Amino acid sequence: MPTIFWLSKSSSALSTLRFAAGELQRYINRMNGEALARIVERPQYQPAEPGLWLGLFTDVGLTPQSTHPLDDEIHIAIAGDHGLIAGSNPRSVLMAVYRYLWALGCRWLRPGAEGELIPRAGPAAMDIHIHEIPAYRHRAVCIEGAVSLENVLDMVDWLPKLGMSGYFMQFREGFTFFDRWYRHQNNPLKTPQAFGVEQAREFTRQIEEELQKRGLVYHAIGHGWTCEAFGVPCLGWDQEPGRPWPPEFLRVVAEVNGKRSVPWDIASIAALCYSDPAVQEKLACCVEEYAAAHPQIDLLHVWLDDGFNNKCECPNCRTHLPADDYIQILNAIDDRLTRRGLPHKIVFLAYVDMLWPPETERLQNPSRFVFMFAPISRTYRQPMKASALHSSERALVPFERNHLKFPSDIDGLLSFLQAWQATFQGDSFVYDYHLISSGLYQQDPGLMNLARLLSEDVQSLKNLGLNGMVSCQLQRVFFPTGLGMYAMARTLWDDSLAFDALAQEYFTGAFGTDGMRCQAYLLKLAGLLDFGWLGNKEIAIPEDVAARCRSAMKGITRFMPVIQQHMCNQDICHTRSWQYLYLHAQVTRLLVKILLAKTKGQAKQVQRNWQTLKKLVCMHEDDLQPVLDVWAFVSAYEKMIESSHETT
Ligand SMILES: [Zn+2]
């Protein structure tokens, strides 16, 4: 049984290295079925002493290729149960531990203890030599949807196991995401729990601790500065009708149609008079104070309001693009952070009205900033790469204040990306939305096409000049499988991985025996069913939709005995995978009934089936909690069913 030595030479790495050693011990003991692995702390590397040595490159005589604090690199050189597991920074050491365990056969198919597959054989007699640098620098997930604290902690724990390096807490304390879960919005069968801002703050502190323990990159905030700077706490996107807005806020909100008011009583979507020097100053000061009080944040996202076609029409603002004001604000922030000696990187974004890049202003200190391209209006039925017809010189549609149309086609969006890239050549990543409403639900039932698209999109990022992805996503996206997130994470680490090989790896890991039959079943459903037209009038209803629906129903019935046969498996990971698939079959049957009734114009039948489906997911919410965001599922399908084609 190997001794695990961890090097306590670099004081900044202590807690993560100690944690990495603990993880290695825990999994080795589980594999061996006995708690025999010992952990020993050592100040110096002594390669001759038998054991598994854990340390930073600099403490074991290795030189990393990059010294950028966000870049990872791992080195594993093990013969039998002796050798070195090293990383270029503390986070990389932890990832190297998981990578070593991966080579021994450990698999993490979903967040949480029930999503892992640990082989029952120890590390003896295996030689493992791995030296890897991830394909992309930015590999992170952003909080969205409805979440319990445990959902987030499980996600944070899972990320480095898949080679992901960061987590993004939106808003100051992520209140709205927790609030949706604890109040059980969209599930009338559960009793709402009281939830307050102080509790969200406490949760955020716990999440930060878990991030720090793993050395993960911490992204924070995003929207909200535009209200917080003027005395309005920004908790999310809820309407607050009748709220008396502070006069200092009302004075500076954007003038639209000759009036300054808070649109729909939602503070986070209210634009400000961004050309007003006092507004710029106030925003910059707010960011400075927050950064000074939060040294634990690595990437501080400074986004403006979350609205669109809402920008100020006052005589000053009208003379130039909102992006020019944005750049002035960012420069003012940089000045303040520099004067104060604050190291935070500031993330700025191209998004809706801000897709039009600045005409005159430029960032004075580009190394302070990271550019984020957020193509929220994009289609998820076409990969994110330029078509043969796309020309990088294509002129942008002129900016027409408050009458903008945002493209959904990829070529159109890439023109904006290229226009921004002409103004800023620094660090950058894409912020994408595959695993949230518009990406997630308008797909085939098993999300097989979406998983393939995700893998393809990640592979294209290099060509687009983007160094990674932050996925703006529901945290519970594992119903019926987690292939999408798995493919995204694995491909961000190694962009040469072929999707088909990843899918095989995933299905075999998650479902065990008959995993490949399960893949074939979901692929068959994907060939027959597509919920795209349900929520999008631009997508035509297939002519043979009824025949397709009938074939899908038959396919589900035919596969049901296989599902049932595996629902009580020896391994909890496999058991859960098949149980989820069983519930998914029931959900899919009801969705098919809704599709059929829609095509026949049977509105009452549509409603009846939708009510039955809602009840089904709500009744089973405790079983589905780790894998399906019922709040998001109900919100999305309700909207899709209401807005889809009127058929007769
Ligand atoms: Zn203005």
Q: What is the pLDDT at residue 648?
A: 44
Q: How far is the CA of 422 from the centre of ligand 1 (A)?
A: 27
Q: How far is the CA of 425 from the centre of ligand 1 (A)?
A: 29
Q: How far is the CA of 216 from the centre of ligand 1 (A)?
A: 39
Q: How far is the CA of 369 from the centre of ligand 1 (A)?
A: 25
Q: How far is the CA of 260 from the centre of ligand 1 (A)?
A: 10
CA dihedral defined by 35, 36, 39, 40, rounded to 10 degrees?
150
Q: How far is the CA of 171 from the centre of ligand 1 (A)?
A: 25
Q: How far is the CA of 251 from the centre of ligand 1 (A)?
A: 11
Residue given tokens 């019926």 in the structure block: 480
Q: How far is the CA of 373 from the centre of ligand 1 (A)?
A: 25
- The span from the CA of 429 to the CA of 470, in Å, is 7
The residues of the chain scoring below 50 in pLDDT are: 648
Q: How far is the CA of 285 from the centre of ligand 1 (A)?
A: 19
Which helix (H) or strand (E) element contains residue 131? strand 127-132
Q: How far is the CA of 322 from the centre of ligand 1 (A)?
A: 10
- For 550, the token pair is 């009938």
Pick from 528, 506, 515: nearest CA to 578: 515
Q: How far is the CA of 323 from the centre of ligand 1 (A)?
A: 13
- The span from the CA of 21 to the CA of 582, in Å, is 38
Q: How far is the CA of 497 from the centre of ligand 1 (A)?
A: 49
Q: What is the pLDDT at residue 230?
A: 96
**Is the whole-model pTM more than 0.95?**
yes
Q: CB-based burial of residue 496 (10 Å sphere; 0-12 exposed, 13-18 middle, 19+ buried)?
A: exposed
Residues with CB under 5 A from ligand 1 (ion): 273, 312, 314, 317
Percentage with pLDDT > 70 across the chain: 98
Q: How far is the CA of 334 from the centre of ligand 1 (A)?
A: 23
Q: How far is the CA of 397 from the centre of ligand 1 (A)?
A: 23
Q: How far is the CA of 199 from the centre of ligand 1 (A)?
A: 37
Q: How far is the CA of 271 from the centre of ligand 1 (A)?
A: 9
Q: What is the pLDDT at residue 540?
A: 81
Contact 446, 506 (CB under 8 A): no
- The span from the CA of 510 to the CA of 562, in Å, is 15
Contact 632, 612 (CB under 8 A): no
